[in-house]
Each structure stands twice: as structure tokens, then as C-alpha cells.
Structure 1
Amino acid sequence: MIDILLVPIALIIILVMIHAWFGMRILKKGIIFTDLAIAQFAALGSAISLGYFHKEYFYSITLSFALFSAFLIAVASQRKIKLEAFIGLLYVLGASGIMMVLSHSAEGMEHFKSLLASDILFTPRDDVFKSAIIYALIALVLWKVYPRVSGFLKELLFFSLLALTVTSSVHLAGVLVVFVLLIAPALVATAIESKRALLTSFGFGWFFGISAIIISYYYDLPTGYTIVFLGALLSSIIVLFTSKKRL
């Protein structure tokens, strides 16, 4: 049992760390569904690779679509428009595009379910190593380069790095898992007004992520959807009970 669980637990630890950082920034920017829109575009690229190219050029097509949506959001963030509404349109554009592409596939719905939330219990060890290297390089750029740029270039760099992160994450875990790992830990850390918000978000993300993996293993449940359910449930309860009433 331990051998089976070690790889997905290592994966969830890595995913939580990179996504919690982005989640804190997304909450501060007030554009909550940015990651969901980018993830949906990444999934659209994946669907096109699956539906029309028999999974050839999978990573390059997925990344291209994610970067394209990141560019659109970066441009929109510099204009006087309802940014959240624009991001919502990108999300439904990506979602509807996926359904249109996969409608011609006999296994379309299975692909769609996998794009939403993958069964990370059986993630190959090599995929975890590759993703860890990618995330480490992204973290290095965020540490060394991101603080030194400003204006549109800073926004473009932020959303491009988010797109690169999401591309790898959607392939490993799925759109909904990416969203809950980005938002739930950051939202809880913000709601309880933690003085060490990032560390708190790490701890909460690891707790529900690892718990969901163990629960899914013992009760034969889909791992990705269990992570999404438990993360959304616990964070909703914590936020409701710790938040103050409006005057």
C-alpha cells in the first residue's frame, strides 16, 4: 500500500506548493477564475491533441493554448473592462470548445472526465520528476526575475508562468484539481488571517490532498474528484465559520 501511495502523495505535496503561491497572488488581484480559464484553455489544447492528432504534439499544443489565454488575460488586465466577466467568457469558450472537439471521439466523455480530474493514484514516477523540475524552474524565475519587472511585462510574465504551471498540472491532475489547489488553500489562509499565510496554505493543501488520496484508495473512489470534493468542502466550512458578518 505504501509504495502505491508514495508517488501521488509526493505529487500532491509539489502541486500544493507551487499552486498555493499563485493562489495567494490571484486572490490579491481579485481575479479568481483566471486559473480556471487558463486551465480550461490548456485542456482544450489537450483535447485537440487527443481528438485530431492522436495525442501527438500533446505538450506543445496544450502549452500553446494556455499561453495564448494567458496573453489575452494580460492584455485585458491593462484595459478598462470588466476583467472577471472577460475571464468568464474565456472559460466558457474553452469548455464549449472541448465538448465540440471530443464530440467526434467514441471515448469523448472519458477524455472529458479525465481532463476535469485525473486519477493521480497511478501517476508514473517519471512524470512527477519532470513536473518537479519544471515547477522548480518556475519558482526560480518567480524568485529572481518576477520582482524586478513592472507594468505590462510583469503581468505578462505572471500569467505566462501560471500558464506553464497549469499546463503541467492539467496533464497530471485535471482542471478542477488545479482550481481547488490554487484557491482553497489560499482562501483558507486569508479567511483565518494567518500571519504566515503561505505556510498555512501549504499545510491545509497538504492535509486535504493527502487525506483525499488515502480515502480514495481505501474506498475505491476516483482520486481527482475526491481531492476536489474534500478541498472544496473543508475550505467552504472553514471560511463560513471563521468569516465575520457584514455590518
Structure 2
Amino acid sequence: MFDLDLLSILLPAFAAGILVLSTHVLLGSQVLKRGIIFIDLAIAQVAALGAIIAHTNHELEHLPYATVWMPALFALLGAGFIAWLAKRMADELEAIIGCFYVLSAVAAMLLLSNDPHGAEMLKQLMSGQILWVNWSQLVLPAVVSGLVLAIIALRPTILNGAGFYLLFALVITLSVELVGVYLVFSSLILPALAVNKLRGKGKWPLAYLVGLLGYGIGLLLSASFDLPSGAAIVATLAVSTIAFRLLQPRLLRESSITKVEAN
């Protein structure tokens, strides 16, 4: 049985997962549709690079909210660059995005190579520290997530144009700070992949369910067995996705039989 102290850690962590999933499931579906799978890794890594520069540059470090607007600036510039490339080099876009990710990762390693705390910071940005998220850290992501969801609800066609890259950069920036690069990628791709073969609006609750199961079970395993929280959640998200895809044909078959019998 969990005590109150453990619950006080798990609840904000799970709330962070809900916030991340709220926008990432929809955006991840668009990533799959566009066939630009590495864009989330690339933008997340670019945002992490901005965070590293904000942390390691003493002049920037003391500016108000530098650890927020620097990653956002880098993410927006990266997203703008990819949007520009999408119109001019569409046939090679995925390869260029992959190179963009690798170069950003290498730049981060070089910047932190002489920092005594560099390895720990790099690990934190990649794997995240979701178990140590507190309620105050969720205020800004909650506001931004709400605005992004409202924009998508009022103007769903924005996901089909260049506006997608702007929304993508905004949510990725905040998500990297909360959960790390690996969980950002997994939250975008795995729930969306779980329902990728389904059609209609009914697939979205299922995608969110896959994501919530992944985060919930991952956090419980992490807390119970002292496992790295980010890695545990990525693993349980993957298992949830695979399980859903394996069960999907049977569920669809049973649903079809039920409809036939009802008619």
C-alpha cells in the first residue's frame, strides 16, 4: 500500500503525464500522417540544446525565465527551419531531420564536455525527472496545453499547414523540461501508433487510454522497484501500444459481429 508521501510524488508526476499526452497524442498522429517521425526527436533535442546554453552561460542564466524562453526560441527556430525545408526538400526531409537531431545532440555534448555536472544534466534532459515534478511546475504547461487544444478545437485545419510546426515547437519545449527527450518522443509516437489503423473520432479515447496506462503503470513500477522513471514509462508505453495492436483485430472483429447481430 502506498503512503501519503509517495502519493504526493506520484500525483503531480501523473498529472504531468496527462498534460503531455493531452497535446502529444494529436500532434503525434499528424507526425505519422506527414511521415516525419524524427521531427519530435529533433525539435526536442534542439529545445534541450537551448536549455543547456541557458544553464551554462552565466550571463543568460541570471536573466528572468531564461530556462523557459531559450529552449522555446531554439525550438521555434528549429521548427521554422524544418517548415522551410518541407516546402523545398520534401523528398529528403526525413533524412535532413535525422541529421538535424544528430548535430543538435553532438552540440549539446560538446557544450557540456568540460562541465563537471554535464553528464548529469544531459541525462536529466534526455531521460527526464518526472518523479520530482511539483505542482507549481505544471501551471505554465497547463495554460499552454489548454490554449493549444483550444486552437486545435476551433481551427482543426491548423494541423495541416505551417501552423502545426509552431504549435509543435511550443508544446515540445515545455514537455522536454517536464519529462525529457525520450518520453517526449514516446508520448508523441506510441499512443498515436497504437490507433494508427483505426478511423473516426472514436480512436482518440483509445489513444489516450494507451498513454495513460503507460504513464500510470510506469510510474508505479518506478516507485515500487526504484527504477529510472523515464525509462520505466517508455517501456510501459511500448508494451501498452504493442498489446493494443495485438488485441485490435479481435476487438474490431467482435465489434463488427455485434453490429451485425444488432441489425
| TM-score, length of structure 1 as denominator length | 0.89
Quote the sequence identity (%). Answer: 33
Query: Which residue does 1:180 correspond to in 2?
Result: 186
Quick one: structure 1 residues 110 and 129, their matched pair in 2 at CA, closer, same or farther if it must change by over 3 Å? same
Of 134, 141, 147 in structure 2, the residue corresponding to residue 131 of structure 1 is 141
**How many angstroms does 1:208 deviate by?**
0.8
Structure 2 unaligned regions, length at least 5: 1-5, 250-263
Aligned partner letter, 1:50: H
| Superposition CA RMSD, Å | 2.0
Query: Which residue does 1:7 correspond to in 2?
Result: 12
Aligned partner letter, 2:12: V
Alignment: residue pair count: 238
Distance (Å, rounded) in 2 between the aligned partners of 1:135 and 1:190: 23
Give the match's secondary structure for 2:36: coil
Query: Which residue does 2:252 correspond to in 1?
Result: none
**How many angstroms does 1:4 deviate by?**
2.3
| 1:102 counterpart = 2:107 | no
Quick one: structure 1 residues 147 and 119, their matched pair in 2 at CA, closer, same or farther if it must change by over 3 Å? same
**How many angstroms does 1:2 deviate by?**
2.3
Structure 1 unaligned regions, length at least 5: none
Distance (Å, rounded) in 2 between the aligned partners of 1:181 and 1:15: 7
| 1:115 counterpart = 2:125 | yes
Larger Rg: 2
Aligned partner letter, 1:213: L
Check whether the contact 1:177–1:224 (CA below 8 A) recurs between aligned residues.
yes
| 1:160 counterpart = 2:175 | no
Aligned partner letter, 2:126: L
Once the two structures are superposed, the pairs formed by residues 14-93 of structure 1 within 5 Å of their partners are 14-53=19-58, 55-56=61-62, 57-80=66-89, 81-93=91-103
| TM-score, length of structure 2 as denominator length | 0.84
Aligned partner letter, 2:57: Y
Aligned partner letter, 2:210: F
